[in-house]
């Protein structure tokens, strides 16, 4: 009893412990883990998309022919598939981002926290509204 | 007709004898009002007295009986056999921890981490008892009350792949309790806790998988505590850069 009372807990003999290893496929064990990995992977697609987008803007400096040739390249089935995948990843990232916002930055309504679903809905609403404004401006100024 | 039974496949590990854990099957009576812990107690009392596991209160308060039930971290006192009717039940020690024996894991790492975040009220100067208690408004209590519900059951550590891959990570419950005291209007230990929370192995190791909050039997929501601590630390950093003369 004495050695347990002096404030330092008795520690097990480390040589006798079994240390389990995490399988490499841990992210396939639960749908939530897989969704997390897809969310992380989304950054790769969005990064590639942004690089391609920057190259596309750069083509503008080289004249209309160079730009048209580049856009022509992007219309190949491979690039279209890539852009569809990127759109889906961007949607996944945006939706999970707004879900997180409600968790990370709780808003108060009077004395109590606002329900998370309401914060999420407000965020999605603001996102849709801003996207609509951009779309309207785009259509208006396209000429 | 005999009594209906259910099979429990239980992890066994004898320290110093076994090289790796193995699984042993036990057939126990199926009772609708039994939980997995009742089944384990039945095995221990009636079938095999050598089985080792931790338990105490049997009512979701002590946090001792956490195990993996069919791969999910659960308090076995709250996992009813009826929810697994028609299946076999796999009972394993909590993952991400070293195994001492059978279903008993080594929790010293968690205990050390809990201590490192000073999970108690820190006062720069204690006021004398004669001056009375530290009073709080209901709103001040609400700011941290949810995070006081942690029972240190470590289910969140078993659910956290980051802790599994990087055992140095401070982990969900320790950070949730650090946040609990940081948010307490009576506490003055925030600067001391920042030294542990603000490191790479502190909150910044977390990638917000969010499963800690899903498995928490007390709805503590450690994932929220971690992300809010990240925001607080980022604010502190900006203040220290923009206001070098400030109250950091």
Check which CATH number belongs to the domain holding B185 and give it: 1.10.1060.10
Lowest mean pLDDT among A9-18, B92-101, B135-144: A9-18
The residue ranking higher by pLDDT, B20 or A113, is B20
Residues B228 and B128 in one domain: yes
Q: What pLDDT is stored for residue B202 in this prediction?
A: 97
Residues B135 and B208 in one domain: yes
Residues B129 and B95 in one domain: no
In tens, the pLDDT along B201-232 reads 999 999 999 999 999 999 999 999 999 999 99
- Work out the average pLDDT over B166-187: 97
Q: What pLDDT is stored for residue A107 in this prediction?
A: 84
In tens, the pLDDT along A21-32 reads 999 999 999 999
Q: What pLDDT is stored for residue B243 in this prediction?
A: 83
Residue A37 has pLDDT above 70, yes or no: yes
Please provide the average confidence, as pLDDT, over all residues in chain B: 95
**In three state form, how does the secondary structure of B204-223 look?**
HHCCCCCHHHHHCCCCCCHH
- Cβ–Cβ < 8 Å for B97, B167: no
In tens, the pLDDT along B123-135 reads 999 889 999 999 9
Q: What pLDDT is stored for residue A113 in this prediction?
A: 83
Q: What pLDDT is stored for residue A109 in this prediction?
A: 80
Q: What pLDDT is stored for residue B78 in this prediction?
A: 97
- Does residue B248 lie in a domain region? no
How much is the pTM? 0.91
Question: Shortest Cα distance from A5 to chain B (angstroms)?
Answer: 17
Q: What pLDDT is stored for residue B247 in this prediction?
A: 53
B105, B126, B147 — which closes off a domain?
B105
Residues B92 and B144 in one domain: no
Residues B146 and B234 in one domain: yes
- Cβ–Cβ < 8 Å for B117, B187: no
Residues B113 and B30 in one domain: no
- Cβ–Cβ < 8 Å for B105, B99: yes
d(CA B16, CA A89): 49
Closest CA to B36 of B91, B95, B85: B91
Lowest mean pLDDT among A1-10, B5-14, B124-133, B192-201: A1-10
Q: What pLDDT is stored for residue A3 in this prediction?
A: 47
Q: Give the bridge partners for A18, in sequence order.
A: B99
Q: What pLDDT is stored for residue B192 in this prediction?
A: 96
Angle of the B190-197 helix axis to the B172-182 helix axis, nearest 10: 160
Residues B101 and B174 in one domain: no
User: How confident is residue B65, by pLDDT bands cut at 50, 70 and 90?
Assistant: very high
Residue A51 has pLDDT above 60, yes or no: yes
B54, B76, B105 — which closes off a domain?
B105
- Work out the average pLDDT over A64-90: 95
What is the sign of the dihedral through the CA atoms of A134, A137, A139 and A142? negative
Domains of chain A, by residue range, sit at 29-134
Query: What is the value of ipTM here, to two decimals?
Result: 0.87
Residues B169 and B82 in one domain: no
Residues B128 and B234 in one domain: yes
d(CA B183, CA B178): 9
Lowest mean pLDDT among A3-17, A94-108, B147-161, B222-236: A3-17
Residues B231 and B124 in one domain: yes
Contact call for B228 and A104, based on CB within 8 A: yes
What is the tally of structural domains in chain B? 2
- Cβ–Cβ < 8 Å for B203, B176: no
Residue A2 has pLDDT above 50, yes or no: no
Contact call for B207 and A27, based on CB within 8 A: no
Contacts B139 to A, Cβ<8 Å: 111
Residues B220 and B123 in one domain: yes
Residue B28 has pLDDT above 70, yes or no: yes
pLDDT-above-90 percentage for chain B: 93
Token code pair at residue B91: 């009972």
Residue of B nearest to A26 (CA): B161
The arrangement of secondary structure in A29-134, i.e. its CATH architecture, is: Up-down Bundle (1.20)
Contacts B98 to A, Cβ<8 Å: 14, 17-20
Q: List, edge to edge, every strand of the sheet that includes B72-75.
A: B22-29, B5-12, B89-92, B66-69, B72-75
- Minimum-distance CB partner of A33 among B20, B98, B161: B161
Closest CA to B22 of B102, B105, B106, B104: B102
Q: How far apart are the first and last CA of chain B?
A: 74
Q: What pLDDT is stored for residue A57 in this prediction?
A: 94
- Minimum-distance CB partner of A11 among B71, B108, B223: B108
- Work out the average pLDDT over B167-189: 97
Q: What pLDDT is stored for residue A78 in this prediction?
A: 96
d(CA B40, CA B49): 10
Contacts B164 to A, Cβ<8 Å: 22, 26
B105, B139, B173 — which closes off a domain?
B105
Query: Which residues are within 8 A (CB) of B52 and not within 5 positions of it... i.e. 6 or more apart?
Result: B101, B102, B103, B104
Name the residue range of residue B39's domain: 5-105
Contacts B52 to A, Cβ<8 Å: none
In tens, the pLDDT along A84-128 reads 999 999 999 999 999 999 899 888 887 788 899 999 999 999 999
User: How confident is residue A143, by pLDDT bands cut at 50, 70 and 90?
Assistant: low
Q: What pLDDT is stored for residue A9 in this prediction?
A: 65
Contact call for B21 and A100, based on CB within 8 A: no
pLDDT-above-90 percentage for chain A: 80
Residues B54 and B117 in one domain: no
Token code pair at residue A100: 């997180």
Dihedrals phi, psi of B196, to nearest 5 degrees: -100, -45
């Amino acid at each position: 009893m004495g050695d347990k009372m002096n404030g330092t807990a008795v520690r097990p003999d480390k040589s006798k412990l079994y240390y389990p290893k995490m399988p490499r496929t841990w992210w396939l064990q639960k749908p939530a883990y897989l969704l997390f990995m897809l969310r992380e992977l989304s950054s790769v697609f969005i990064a590639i998309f942004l690089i391609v987008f920057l190259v596309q803007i750069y083509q503008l400096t080289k004249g209309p022919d160079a730009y048209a040739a580049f856009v022509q390249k992007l219309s190949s089935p491979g690039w279209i598939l890539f852009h569809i995948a990127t759109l889906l990843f961007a949607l996944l990232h945006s939706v999970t981002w707004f879900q997180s916002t409600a968790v990370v930055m709780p808003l108060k309504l009077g004395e109590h926290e606002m329900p998370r679903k309401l914060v999420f809905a407000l965020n999605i609403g603001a996102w849709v509204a801003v996207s609509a404004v951009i779309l309207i401006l785009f259509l208006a100024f396209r000429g | 007709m005999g009594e209906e039974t259910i099979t429990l496949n239980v992890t066994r590990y004898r320290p110093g004898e076994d090289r790796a854990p193995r699984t042993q099957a036990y057939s126990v009576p199926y009772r609708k009002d039994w939980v997995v812990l009742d089944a384990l107690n039945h095995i221990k009392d009636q079938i095999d007295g050598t089985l080792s596991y931790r338990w105490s209160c049997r009512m979701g308060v002590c946090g001792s009986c956490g195990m993996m039930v069919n791969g999910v971290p659960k308090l076995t006192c709250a996992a009813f056999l009826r929810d697994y009717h028609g299946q076999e039940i796999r009972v394993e020690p909590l993952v991400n921890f070293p195994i001492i024996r059978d279903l008993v894991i080594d929790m010293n790492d968690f205990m050390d981490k809990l201590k490192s975040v000073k999970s108690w009220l820190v006062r720069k100067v204690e006021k004398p008892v004669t001056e009375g208690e530290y009073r709080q408004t209901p709103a001040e209590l609400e700011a941290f009350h949810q995070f006081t519900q942690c029972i240190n059951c470590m289910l969140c550590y078993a659910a956290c792949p980051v802790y599994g891959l990087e055992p140095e990570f401070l982990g969900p419950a320790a950070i949730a309790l650090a946040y609990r005291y940081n948010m307490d209007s009576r506490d003055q230990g925030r600067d001391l806790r920042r030294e542990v929370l603000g490191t790479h192995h502190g909150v910044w190791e977390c990638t917000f998988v969010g499963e800690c909050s899903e498995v928490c039997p007390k709805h503590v929501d450690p994932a929220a505590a971690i992300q809010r601590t990240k925001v607080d630390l980022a604010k502190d950093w900006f203040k220290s850069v923009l206001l070098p003369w400030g109250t950091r």
